Amino acid sequence: MKCFYCGCKDSRVVDSRMTEDGIVIRRRRECEQCKKRFTTYEKIEFAPMYVIKNDNRREEFSAEKVRNSIMKACAKRPVPIAKVDQLVLSVEQEVNNSYSQEVPSKKIGELVMNGLKSIDEVAYVRYASVYRQFRDINSFMDELRSLLDEDSIQ
């Protein structure tokens, strides 16, 4: 690993630890030349996953885009960032565990909505209103009624 500070290609690993989610290994390194320390992260690289958009375009899956859309839905809501990160991770894992290298955007949207429903109902409704592109107030009210019906069953 090339030193961040002096560019030397020789460094030694001082400490290795798994992150809390167990997916990434954090390595603390020390440069053999300048003796400064730096951190590297190691994780499995998956084959690229592609999202099939509604207009049949394909673009590479981005967990960051998923996270940004969830953060917008959760704006000004009492949702811990850790819950958002868990949801993003679960969506990413579900997408990567599919048997195809392509996943419809509808599938990703449904995964996010299902996760948000259990985290925060207001964030769920916000996300659903954009994702489902409600045409009028009646379709929006139908979604709210189904959410209320589910709550009364539980």
Q: What is the pLDDT of residues 22-76, one digit of tens each?
A: 888 999 999 999 999 999 999 877 788 999 998 999 999 999 999 999 999 999 9
Residue 135 pLDDT level (bands cut at 50, 70, 90): low
| Structural contact between residues 33 and 59, judged by C-beta atoms closer than 8 angstroms | no
> What pLDDT does 151 receive?
61
> What pLDDT does 35 receive?
97
- Comparison of pLDDT for 94 and 135, the residue scoring more: 94
Enter the pTM of the model. 0.63
Residue 21 pLDDT level (bands cut at 50, 70, 90): confident
| Structural contact between residues 31 and 3, judged by C-beta atoms closer than 8 angstroms | yes
- Cα angle, residue 89 at apex, residues 87 and 91 outer, rounded to 5°: 70
> What pLDDT does 153 receive?
58
Encoding tokens for residue 22? Answer: 């167990």
Residue 9 pLDDT level (bands cut at 50, 70, 90): very high
| Structural contact between residues 5 and 31, judged by C-beta atoms closer than 8 angstroms | yes
